[in-house]
Amino acid sequence: MMCVIVASVVLFAASSLALPGTHQRQFSIENIPTVLTNNGLTTLVDSVVKAGLAEALSGAGPFTVFAPTNDAFGAVDPSTLNSILNDVVLLKNVLTYHVVASALVSSSIENELTPRSLAGENLRINVYGSGNEAKVTINGALRLKTLEASNGIIYVIDKVLVPEPESNIVKVLEKKGIFSTLLTALKITDLTSTVESAGPFTLFAPTDDAFKALPPGALDSLIANPEELKKILLTHVVSGTVYSRGLASGAVPVVAGGNVDAVVARNGVTIGNAEVIDADIFASNGVIHVINSVILRSADEAKKSAAIQPIPTDVNIPSVLTENGLTTLVDLVVKADLANALSGAGPFTVFAPTNDAFNSVDPATLNALLQDVDLLKRVLTYHVVGSALPPASIQNELVTKSLAGESLRVNTYNNGKVVTINGALKLKALEASNGIIYVIDKVLVPDNDKSIVKVLASKGKFTTLITAFNVAGLKTHLDTAGPFTLFAPTDDAFAALPEGALDSLIANPRELKKILLSHVIPSSFFSRGISSGQLNLARGGSVGVTVNENGVKIADADVIEADIAASNGVIHVINRVL
């Protein structure tokens, strides 16, 4: 048994709010290695000591540790486990993959949250269900209980997480060597780039043997008919990440439209007519479940399972936009020569600004768009996704790639009653024969997928804040991890501090780090998702929020500019340092 490192008694202020389905959190003034030891997680503790990480995990933090049980380590293939234990560099990489350099308190845990681990690779957190029945997974591993320490929070999980070079769904399929037919089919139907770069998706992936088992001539017929093949392939794709712990018997909405029936039983899982033979294969943009048959549905079955009535094939996206009075968008689509594309087979998802949304754009900016067809096309395609995202698939922190090549972030607030896209409010949903339309109240502006730090740098009024991030060792984290909400004090806000206060903080990086993390929320809160109350901070604890007719206050600071989208979250500019 290792000698327990004496904890520095730093009270970890955690929110009293609890995630639905969470266990009563066990609070301790001991540090993380001590809490792990006290709770019998001895294999993890021994590994931490062997890797030389005990001192780091006894530091100020805050950290979030995803802690596998002893049984989880025991379930790892013995030869694999021995390889890890005999290679300290590899062991350190595996263990740091279980650690996040901020406190993800239970109430900040949301579906599709992708925090960056200390190993430098993302983890994916999912929440399935609600209330006391909610299940939380990390890369598919089930969270069993929550423990608190003086320098962070620990989630005990039932599997060891294995880091691999971050590979998207297509790259994972290529590595496996048993999906050549599926990869060819994706290429023929022009779906490769979508499955490669968009998401998150759940792919039920038929093996080469599954395609060979199709009736004679069926595969050749599908390859000769790319549109029909595309529909079949999209029947295997679910929007959002659904690990096996999130699967339940019932209808599963697929990107092709309609549903596929899932049956979850003791002897395994079936999806449509296919059995899942290998589950929970992690990818950077979702998860793969291997199946032994190609899922085939008749048109009658698709119509029966769909949540809406069949739509006439001539009621395409431009027609539906016109019928619903979205005339400014339609005129711009025509001007940009995109009408034929949006009348095609699809499926597409269009985020459609209202006429009023276009009218609220600065006239000079709008005129510049109208005079530059390439720029207009880029802005419009930023409002389009090359797959159907039905309402049932919309989840908080869903990040999906637009046809412009840049990501959009979907958030849900107030139990799904409020939905935003890059902060724009979804007003209503419209169905078309070739996709779905979400009417929104703002025009979305593409901005090259800049991280929070890069957005700050481009604004020219956050020099002090960026310097402070650098001094506190937070710059890389805020440049690569997330999603975060940053309440960003301007240079003027720092200049207004009492004389000598800023110099004192710069000279004390640990205290500066605590102050800076008081400005960071570990998820995306656009203004439509902020209401009076408390927001949980990345450092632990919470901050008070007041929303009224005068604006938004965070503690004693006023939000003076809101909803600046970044690739890894959102920025709200404030006029005081918290």
Residue 307 is predicted with a pLDDT of 36
- Please state, in angstroms and rounded to a whole number, the distance separating the CA atoms of residues 94 and 119: 8
Tell me the C-alpha to C-alpha distance, in Å, between residue 382 and each of 322, 329, 400, 447, 462.
Answer: 20, 13, 11, 10, 27
Amino acid at the residue 415: N
Q: Can you tell me the distance from the alpha carbon of 244 to that of 236, in angstroms, rounded to the nearest whole number?
A: 15
Category of 398 on φ-ψ map: left (φ > 0), alpha (ψ -120 to 50) or beta: beta
| CATH code for the part of the protein at 169-307 | 2.30.180.10
Q: How many CB atoms lie within 10 A of CB 378?
A: 19
Domain 452-574 has CATH 1.10.286.10: no
Per-residue pLDDT at 297: 59
Tell whether omega for the bond before 215 is within 30 degrees of 0, i.e. cis: no
pLDDT above 90 for 169: yes
Q: Name which of 167, 169, 248, 259 is nearest 205 in CA terms.
A: 169
Q: Backbone dihedral region of 240: left (phi > 0), alpha (psi from -120 to 50 degrees) or beta?
A: left
389, burial (CB in 10 Å: exposed 0-12, middle 13-18, buried 19+) = buried
pLDDT tens by residue, 439-470: 999 999 887 578 899 999 999 999 999 999 99
Above 60 in pLDDT, residue 10? no
3-state helix, strand, coil in the chain (%, to 5): 35, 25, 40
Q: For the residues 283-295, what does the mean pLDDT come to?
A: 93
What pLDDT score does 50 carry?
93
Please, where in the chain does CATH 2.30.180.10 lie? 32-157, 169-307, 317-440, 452-574
Q: How far apart are CA 524 and CA 526, in angstroms?
A: 6
pLDDT averaged over the chain? 86
DSSP 3-state of 111:
coil
For the chain, the residue count is 578
Q: Report d(CA 291, CA 279) in Å as an integer.
A: 9
Say how far apart CA 457 and CA 82 lie, in whole Å: 46
Mean pLDDT of 230-256: 90
The span from the CA of 498 to the CA of 263, in Å, is: 64
- Provide the token pair at 92: 């350190």
Q: In the predicted model, is pLDDT for residue 94 greater than 80?
A: yes
**Residue 9 Cα distances to 33, 406, 516, 517, 536, angstroms:** 13, 45, 21, 20, 22
pTM of the model: 0.55
Q: Assign domain 317-440 to its CATH architecture.
A: Roll (2.30)
Q: In what order do the strands lie in the sheet with 520-521?
A: 520-521, 484-489, 569-574, 557-566, 551-554, 542-548, 533-536
Q: Which segments of 308-372 does DSSP mark as H helices, in order? A: 317-323, 327-335, 339-342, 355-359, 363-371
Closest Cα partner for 213 from 181, 177, 245? Answer: 181
pLDDT score at 27: 42
Left if phi > 0, otherwise alpha if psi is -120 to 50, otherwise beta: which for 449?
Answer: left
Tokens 């049932």 belong to residue: 392
More confident call, 172 vs 370: 172
The dihedral built from the CA positions of residue 269, 272, 273 and 277, taken in this order, carries a sign that is negative
List of E strands, 150-273: 152-157, 201-206, 237-239, 250-253, 259-265, 268-271
What are the pLDDT digits (tens) for 35-81? 999 999 999 999 999 999 999 999 988 999 999 999 999 999 888 88
pLDDT, tens only, 365-398: 888 888 899 999 999 999 999 988 888 778 888 8
Looking at residue 438, its pLDDT comes to 95
pLDDT number for residue 385: 92
pLDDT at 448: 59
The superfamily (CATH) of domain 32-157 is FAS1 domain (2.30.180.10)
- Rounded Cα distance between 103 and 510, Å, is 15
d(CA 440, CA 25): 39
Residue with token string 């050549």: 180
What residues pair up with 545 in beta bridges, in sequence order?
533, 554
- Report the pLDDT value the prediction gives residue 445, as an integer from 0 to 100: 87
pLDDT beyond 80 at 286: yes
Distances (CA, A) of 526 to 423, 444, 483: 5, 14, 12
